[in-house]
């Protein structure tokens, strides 16, 4: 069994309270680790350390090329340990090995992207009235609190850590309390490459204690959070104390729109991938499938046929296509939504049950589930379930599809399937969402911004946009003729 500690000021430490938390393999319910259970005292210690490190300039004043050298070294070592870390991610989170392999590769690429970006030209100059020269530079924000969820433990951590460090900030990182294993391995690498003490810190523990302290602390200059919208609201309130900068990537109830002229099998295939990849535990999941009336019945028939054939099992089984949900509590939440859907009158086309046969009785498995005959007011249509549950909606024409797609408080993502390129662009431009796809669903890139409209969050991660989120903009005005203004006569 693994014994997991926190990383503060370059040292591996237990919680001040000596409390621990059991970390469970969702495939079989077995305890795989005991993790230090930090609280407010530990968070305050890490914040103080990060504050001192930032104010000392030990990292922020490093030349960009030197910071890049560290990030490249992290990427190389992460790549060397890719297979090991991928297996640990599967053990801790439950997702299939083929998915964790992609996650680790993306994490490596993310470090390399920001290592390269930080040495590229930036800033702006302005030709203003003589004798003045004006320019704009970007500087690190300061101490950044980074909080990530359990669905992509390593990758979403790297999405924040890489740009924050590249920009010259110090960090206090809080992984999800139920999936800390792979980010601890990442911090082992950070320690190994020799990043100065106090620059990168990690505190384990619950959001209500550690996360809340990061959001409230006046020593923290920025909070970057990925997770649920309810928690996002509480972080906004807590962050108001010192008006800290915030980045919030929150929930979604994203529409996947299929027109009658779409390539049929491609649309079916992506509809499955959109909702059942990572067991539906994806903020941008295509959890609402919008089908044009004329293809609805045929599409549903084919979709259900294929969904029933998805191989659900332990993530370390190479034949597994969909793994368990992350925890018993989350499984029960998903099953509750399925019961709500049936009670509200939606038609259950397949799935809807916990899987307990063939040795899966101790794991948190739920069948791929599809509902039709939904109405816009149903909870399974409006609320984020975060599981393998698809709600299908009908539409009549282009205008109807856009109206239904935007009938949500969220605005994270959306897809459009059609072979009419002009129609695809018209619809995508009308979607109130930050991440969109045409004739595909889910591909994402470190070079492109990630984030949403409406209650799906504030700010953007990844790309140059994600780097900018971890910087402050400073205007500098230079007088090229140093002499009195003559503004006052005497």
Give the Cα separation of 126 and 479 in Å (integer).
13
- Three-state DSSP at 145 gives strand
Is 197 in contact with 7 (CB distance < 8 Å)? no
Q: Which of 283, 292, 384, 469 is catalytic?
A: 283
Positive or negative torsion for Cα 100, 101, 106, 109:
positive
- Three-state DSSP at 484 gives coil
Q: For residue 471, count other CB atoms closer than 10 A to its CB.
A: 21
Q: Per-residue b/e over 149-168, b at no fewer than 16 CB within 10 Å? A: bbbbbbbbbbbbbbbbbbbb
- Three-state DSSP at 63 gives coil
Q: Which of 37, 249, 292, 367 is catalytic?
A: 249
Is 277 in contact with 368 (CB distance < 8 Å)? no
User: 76 Cβ partners below 8 Å, 6+ apart?
Assistant: none
Give the Cα separation of 195 and 60 in Å (integer).
12
Which residue's entry shows tokens 């000021």? Answer: 9
Residue 3's Cβ-count burial label (10 Å; 0-12, 13-18, 19+) is exposed
Is 314 in contact with 93 (CB distance < 8 Å)? no
Give catalytic status of residue 249 as yes or no.
yes
DSSP assignment of 219-272: T--EEEEES-HHHHHHHHHHHGGGT-EEEEE-----EEEE-TTS-HHHHHHHHH
Give the Cα separation of 17 and 202 in Å (integer).
16
> Which tokens belong to 404?
């239904």
Helical H runs in 59-96? 64-80, 82-93
> Which tokens belong to 485?
């203004």
Give the Cα separation of 407 and 398 in Å (integer).
14
User: 203 Cβ partners below 8 Å, 6+ apart?
Assistant: 6, 8, 38, 42, 43, 46, 172, 173, 174, 210
* 300 φ/ψ angles, rounded to the nearest 5 degrees: -60, -45
User: Where in the sequence numbering do the catalytic residues fall?
Assistant: 249, 283
């Amino acid at each position: 069994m693994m014994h997991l500690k926190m990383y503060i000021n370059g040292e591996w430490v237990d919680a001040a309270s000596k409390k621990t938390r059991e970390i469970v393999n969702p495939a079989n319910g077995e305890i795989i680790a005991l993790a230090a259970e930090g609280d407010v005292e530990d968070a305050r210690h890490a914040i103080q350390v990060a504050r001192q490190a930032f104010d000392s300039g030990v990292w922020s004043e490093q030349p960009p090329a030197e910071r890049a050298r560290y990030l490249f070294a992290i990427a190389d070592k992460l790549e060397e340990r890719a297979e090991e870390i991928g297996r640990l991610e599967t053990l801790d989170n439950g997702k299939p090995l083929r998915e964790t392999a992609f996650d680790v590769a993306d994490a490596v690429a993310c470090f390399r992207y920001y290592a390269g970006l930080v040495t590229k030209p930036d800033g702006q100059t302005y030709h203003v009235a003589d004798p003045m020269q004006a320019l704009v530079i970007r500087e690190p924000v300061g101490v950044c609190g980074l909080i990530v969820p359990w669905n992509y433990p390593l990758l979403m951590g790297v999405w924040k850590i890489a740009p924050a460090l590249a920009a010259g900030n110090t960090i206090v990182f809080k992984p999800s309390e139920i999936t800390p294993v792979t980010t601890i391995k990442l911090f082992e690498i950070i320690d190994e490459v020799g990043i100065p003490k106090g620059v990168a810190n990690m505190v384990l523990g619950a959001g209500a204690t550690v996360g809340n302290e990061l959001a409230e602390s006046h020593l923290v200059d920025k909070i970057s959070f990925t997770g649920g919208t309810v928690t996002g609201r509480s972080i906004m309130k807590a962050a108001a104390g010192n008006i800290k900068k915030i980045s919030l990537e929150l929930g979604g109830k994203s529409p996947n729109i299929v027109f009658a002229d779409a390539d049929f099998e491609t649309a079916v295939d992506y509809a499955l991938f959109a909702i059942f990849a990572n067991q539906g535990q994806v903020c941008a999941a295509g959890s609402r499938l919008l089908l044009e009336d004329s293809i609805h019945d045929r599409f549903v028939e084919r979709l259900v046929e294929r969904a029933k054939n998805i191989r659900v099992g332990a993530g370390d089984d190479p034949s597994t296509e969909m793994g368990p949900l992350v925890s018993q509590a989350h499984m029960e939440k998903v099953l509750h939504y399925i019961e709500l859907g049936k009670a509200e009158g939606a038609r259950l086309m397949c799935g809807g049950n916990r899987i307990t046969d063939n040795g899966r009785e101790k794991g948190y498995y739920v069948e791929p589930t599809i509902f039709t005959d939904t109405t816009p007011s149903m909870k399974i249509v409006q609320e984020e379930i975060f599981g393998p549950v698809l709600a299908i909606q009908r539409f009549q024409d282009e205008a109807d599809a856009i109206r239904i797609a935007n009938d949500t408080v969220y605005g994270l993502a959306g897809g459009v399937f059609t072979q009419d390129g002009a129609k695809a662009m018209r619809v995508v431009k009308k979607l109130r969402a930050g991440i969109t796809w045409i004739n595909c669903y889910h591909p994402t890139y470190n070079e492109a911004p990630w984030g949403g409209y409406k209650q799906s969050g504030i700010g953007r991660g990844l790309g140059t946009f994600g780097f900018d989120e971890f910087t402050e903009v400073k205007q500098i005005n230079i007088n090229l003729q140093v002499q009195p203004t003559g503004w006052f006569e005497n």
